[in-house]
Amino acid sequence: MIRNFSDHAANERTFLAWIRTAIAVMAFGFLVAKFDLFLRLAAVSLGAPRSAVTVRGNGFGGAAGIILILAGTLMVALAALRFVRTDRAIESPESQPEGSRIDLALAALMLALGIALLLYLAETVLGGP
Protein backbone atom coordinates (compact mmCIF):
# COMPACT_ATOMS: atom_id res chain seq x y z
CA MET A 1 0.00 0.00 0.00
CA ILE A 2 1.25 3.48 -0.87
CA ARG A 3 1.62 5.81 2.10
CA ASN A 4 -0.62 8.93 1.78
CA PHE A 5 -2.17 7.50 -1.38
CA SER A 6 -5.16 9.89 -1.42
CA ASP A 7 -2.84 12.90 -1.19
CA HIS A 8 -0.66 11.60 -4.02
CA ALA A 9 -3.73 10.82 -6.14
CA ALA A 10 -5.08 14.36 -5.54
CA ASN A 11 -1.69 15.78 -6.50
CA GLU A 12 -1.72 13.78 -9.74
CA ARG A 13 -5.28 14.87 -10.57
CA THR A 14 -4.27 18.49 -10.06
CA PHE A 15 -1.22 17.98 -12.28
CA LEU A 16 -3.37 16.50 -15.03
CA ALA A 17 -5.85 19.38 -14.73
CA TRP A 18 -2.97 21.85 -15.22
CA ILE A 19 -1.83 19.88 -18.29
CA ARG A 20 -5.35 19.87 -19.79
CA THR A 21 -5.62 23.60 -19.20
CA ALA A 22 -2.21 24.21 -20.78
CA ILE A 23 -3.22 22.19 -23.86
CA ALA A 24 -6.44 24.23 -24.11
CA VAL A 25 -4.50 27.51 -23.84
CA MET A 26 -2.07 26.39 -26.55
CA ALA A 27 -4.94 25.29 -28.81
CA PHE A 28 -6.66 28.64 -28.24
CA GLY A 29 -3.42 30.41 -29.16
CA PHE A 30 -3.30 28.47 -32.42
CA LEU A 31 -6.93 29.38 -33.09
CA VAL A 32 -6.31 33.08 -32.43
CA ALA A 33 -3.35 33.11 -34.79
CA LYS A 34 -5.36 31.38 -37.51
CA PHE A 35 -8.30 33.76 -36.97
CA ASP A 36 -6.00 36.65 -37.85
CA LEU A 37 -5.07 34.85 -41.07
CA PHE A 38 -8.76 34.16 -41.75
CA LEU A 39 -9.58 37.86 -41.49
CA ARG A 40 -6.90 38.67 -44.07
CA LEU A 41 -8.17 36.00 -46.47
CA ALA A 42 -11.78 37.12 -45.96
CA ALA A 43 -10.84 40.67 -46.92
CA VAL A 44 -9.37 39.37 -50.19
CA SER A 45 -12.39 37.19 -50.95
CA LEU A 46 -14.74 40.13 -50.40
CA GLY A 47 -13.21 41.90 -53.36
CA ALA A 48 -10.46 44.03 -51.90
CA PRO A 49 -7.40 44.11 -54.14
CA ARG A 50 -4.52 42.03 -52.79
CA SER A 51 -2.25 45.06 -52.42
CA ALA A 52 -4.97 47.00 -50.60
CA VAL A 53 -5.70 44.32 -48.00
CA THR A 54 -5.32 45.85 -44.60
CA VAL A 55 -6.86 44.36 -41.51
CA ARG A 56 -6.92 46.39 -38.34
CA GLY A 57 -4.63 45.16 -35.61
CA ASN A 58 -1.50 44.80 -37.76
CA GLY A 59 -0.94 41.15 -36.86
CA PHE A 60 -1.92 41.40 -33.21
CA GLY A 61 -3.80 38.12 -33.52
CA GLY A 62 -0.64 36.31 -34.58
CA ALA A 63 1.36 37.82 -31.74
CA ALA A 64 -1.38 37.03 -29.22
CA GLY A 65 -1.51 33.46 -30.52
CA ILE A 66 2.23 33.03 -30.05
CA ILE A 67 2.03 34.48 -26.52
CA LEU A 68 -0.82 32.09 -25.65
CA ILE A 69 1.16 29.12 -26.98
CA LEU A 70 4.17 30.21 -24.93
CA ALA A 71 1.94 30.68 -21.86
CA GLY A 72 0.59 27.15 -22.31
CA THR A 73 4.13 25.79 -22.57
CA LEU A 74 5.09 27.71 -19.43
CA MET A 75 2.05 26.23 -17.68
CA VAL A 76 3.28 22.70 -18.47
CA ALA A 77 6.69 23.47 -16.98
CA LEU A 78 5.13 25.07 -13.89
CA ALA A 79 2.73 22.15 -13.49
CA ALA A 80 5.64 19.71 -13.48
CA LEU A 81 7.56 21.83 -10.98
CA ARG A 82 4.51 22.15 -8.75
CA PHE A 83 3.79 18.40 -8.99
CA VAL A 84 7.31 17.46 -7.85
CA ARG A 85 7.33 20.07 -5.08
CA THR A 86 3.94 18.91 -3.76
CA ASP A 87 5.02 15.26 -3.96
CA ARG A 88 8.05 16.03 -1.80
CA ALA A 89 5.91 18.03 0.62
CA ILE A 90 3.50 15.10 1.02
CA GLU A 91 6.38 12.80 1.93
CA SER A 92 8.06 15.34 4.21
CA PRO A 93 7.21 15.09 7.93
CA GLU A 94 7.39 18.87 8.48
CA SER A 95 4.81 21.35 7.28
CA GLN A 96 5.78 23.53 4.33
CA PRO A 97 4.01 26.71 3.24
CA GLU A 98 2.58 26.66 -0.28
CA GLY A 99 3.42 29.66 -2.47
CA SER A 100 0.89 30.89 -5.01
CA ARG A 101 2.77 33.78 -6.63
CA ILE A 102 3.32 31.85 -9.86
CA ASP A 103 -0.37 30.95 -10.01
CA LEU A 104 -1.33 34.59 -9.58
CA ALA A 105 1.20 35.70 -12.22
CA LEU A 106 -0.27 33.23 -14.73
CA ALA A 107 -3.79 34.38 -13.88
CA ALA A 108 -2.74 38.01 -14.42
CA LEU A 109 -1.15 37.10 -17.76
CA MET A 110 -4.31 35.30 -18.91
CA LEU A 111 -6.47 38.23 -17.78
CA ALA A 112 -4.31 40.73 -19.68
CA LEU A 113 -4.37 38.55 -22.81
CA GLY A 114 -8.12 38.12 -22.52
CA ILE A 115 -8.69 41.86 -22.34
CA ALA A 116 -6.29 42.48 -25.23
CA LEU A 117 -8.06 39.85 -27.36
CA LEU A 118 -11.44 41.34 -26.52
CA LEU A 119 -10.26 44.78 -27.62
CA TYR A 120 -8.68 43.32 -30.76
CA LEU A 121 -11.83 41.45 -31.71
CA ALA A 122 -14.04 44.48 -31.02
CA GLU A 123 -11.79 46.66 -33.19
CA THR A 124 -11.66 44.07 -35.98
CA VAL A 125 -15.36 43.20 -36.05
CA LEU A 126 -16.92 46.54 -35.21
CA GLY A 127 -14.33 48.65 -36.98
CA GLY A 128 -13.24 52.02 -35.94
CA PRO A 129 -13.20 55.55 -37.23
Mean pLDDT for the stretch of residues 108-119: 80
Residue 48 pLDDT:
58
Residue 6 pLDDT:
92
Helix/strand/coil percentages in the chain, nearest 5 = 80, 0, 20
Q: What is the mean pLDDT of the chain?
A: 79
State yes or no: pLDDT of 24 exceeds 80. yes
Higher per-residue pLDDT: 29 or 116: 29
Count: domains in the chain: 1
Question: What's the pLDDT tens digit per position in 43-87?
Answer: 667 765 555 445 555 577 788 888 888 888 988 988 898 899 888
- Residues of the domain holding 66: 5-126
